[in-house]
Amino acid sequence: MIKGLYEAHLPVKNLEVSIEFYRKLGLKLAWRDEDTAFIWIEEGESWLGLWEGEEHQTPYHPSLRHIAFRVTYEDLKESLKWLESIQVEPVPFGRRTSIEPFVRPNQGNASVYFEDPDGNSLELMCYIDVPNELKHITEKLSFEDWESLVNSERK
């Protein structure tokens, strides 16, 4: 029945500033009106609605004001350089102090975090193949630690 994500929405303070930010990420404006804009995530497949209004003051919580964009593993390895090239600063996730991308073996994914101009939490995220003998690992691992662990398992 469900085939994928059609749309998600975020509150913003200034629609013009937000549209420019998301364009900087390489996303394309689908349409806009006075206080709403839709930005293609995957053109013709999924989009992000930006809504200008006081709701941008809603305090952040992981269940609110968060979007994860799917990328490849190789893209994620280059994500800090890419974010720097477009003048976007990565931020640590949760209680972590590092801004480096990290792997969640038990979930089979990896990510890096940053924020839009309104403090909405944004994430670049990819799926990873996890050998069965590593799926029990719940700690978040650096790419270096993850690749070292996977390489030692293959020997």
The residues that are catalytic are: 123
Residue 56 to residue 64: CA distance in whole angstroms: 11
State the Cα torsion 95-84-19-115 to the nearest 10°. 10
SS3 annotation, 37-75: EEEEEECCCEEEEEEECHHHHCCCECCECEEEEECCHHH
Q: Name the residue with tokens 């085939």.
A: 3
66 φ/ψ sector (left φ>0, alpha ψ -120 to 50, else beta): beta
3-class secondary-structure state, position 143: helix
